[in-house]
Amino acid sequence: MPEDKSRPPQDRPWENGWTLDTSRTPGTRRLYLAGALAVATIIACVAAIAATDNKGDDSSKTARDEGGLISFSSQPATTTAPQGDSGLSSVSPSPRGPRQQGTGPTVAVTETPKPPKPTASKGSSSKPKPSVTYRSVRSVNFPDRFWHVDDGYVGLDPVSGSESREDSTFKQVKGLANASCYSFATHDGKYLRHRNFVLRADRNDGSSLFKQDATFCPRDAAYTSATMLESVNYPGYFLRHRNFVVRLERFEYSSQFLSDSSFQLVHGLA
């Protein structure tokens, strides 16, 4: 049977001058289909994003139309009160030199204290009598000892018996030479004044020297709730006890002086 030589084998086109048909690359249809699928996917994504944005715009427009506000918290904000006492702090100061009371940093008080209401006794006028402050003066480094008048002089003694309590209780009044300072009167009308730098109880002779000798200004002490008392006519001199005798001495920056010159003005013992 004669061999058909009209089309030579495709695996040897160069033998008879036949060339491959390259007008259409194999797999072109599949590439077209893949490209069409990708374009369709992109169009679907764009449509989904546009629909989501339209929905968000409609929600915002509805909220604006209704006049409402968007709340980011379902519960109201609360304020927690600060811990501790009512804004006040108690600090034990380290030893330091004295300064005038009331000149240091102030502490804000949240509520203004109300003055006590006067109690009118029966048969008396409605005008209240001025209050009288009775004080006893206690040592800081010897807390069981108080100022005590004995034979006209003021010593630092323990209290025993009613008479000792009476001699250790003084009426605190405005300073005779300076109303912002203190003077101390005994139960029999005498005043505590320094003479020869020793504290003693004497009758007021009305002189300017007596008023100055009997006036002492409170100063901040190095101990909590304690006070130092500075002489009016001898600035820089403070009352302190030495060998249990209350004296007036020049200030010195030492722990011994700071403790000996610090006193607590407590309620009267009598």
pLDDT of residue 81: 38
Contact, 247 vs 240, CB < 8 A? yes
Average pLDDT of the residues of the chain = 75
What is the distance between the alpha carbons of residues 138 and 221, in angstroms, rounded to a whole number? 14
| More confidently predicted of 50 and 247 | 247
Contact, 135 vs 147, CB < 8 A? no
Which band of pLDDT confidence, cut at 50, 70 and 90, is reported for residue 45? confident
Residue with tokens 């009512």: 86
Neighbouring residues of 34: CB distance < 8 A, sequence distance ≥ 6: none
pLDDT of 206 higher than 50 = yes
pLDDT of 7 higher than 80 = no
**Average pLDDT over every residue of 59-71:** 47
Which band of pLDDT confidence, cut at 50, 70 and 90, is reported for residue 38? confident
Cα-based distances in Å from 93 to 162, 223, 237, 259: 35, 6, 22, 13
pLDDT of 245 higher than 60 = yes
Q: What percent of the chain shows pLDDT beyond 70?
A: 59
Q: Looking at the chain, how many residues does it have?
A: 270
Which band of pLDDT confidence, cut at 50, 70 and 90, is reported for residue 246? very high
pLDDT of 131 higher than 70 = no
What is the distance between the alpha carbons of residues 124 and 186, in angstroms, rounded to a whole number? 27
| More confidently predicted of 52 and 172 | 172
Angle value at C-alpha 239, between 238 and 243, nearest 5 degrees = 130
pLDDT of 80 higher than 50 = no
pTM comes to: 0.55
**Average pLDDT over every residue of 233-247:** 97
| Phi and psi torsions of 43, nearest 5° | -65, -40
Which band of pLDDT confidence, cut at 50, 70 and 90, is reported for residue 132? confident
pLDDT of 110 higher than 50 = no
Tally of helices (H runs) and strands (E runs) in the chain: 4, 12
Based on its alpha-carbon atoms, the radius of gyration of the chain, rounded to whole angstroms, reads 50
pLDDT of 111 higher than 50 = no
What is the distance between the alpha carbons of residues 82 and 158, in angstroms, rounded to a whole number? 44
What is the distance between the alpha carbons of residues 66 and 58, in angstroms, rounded to a whole number? 12
| More confidently predicted of 88 and 101 | 101
Residue with tokens 């029966």: 122
pLDDT of residue 98: 64
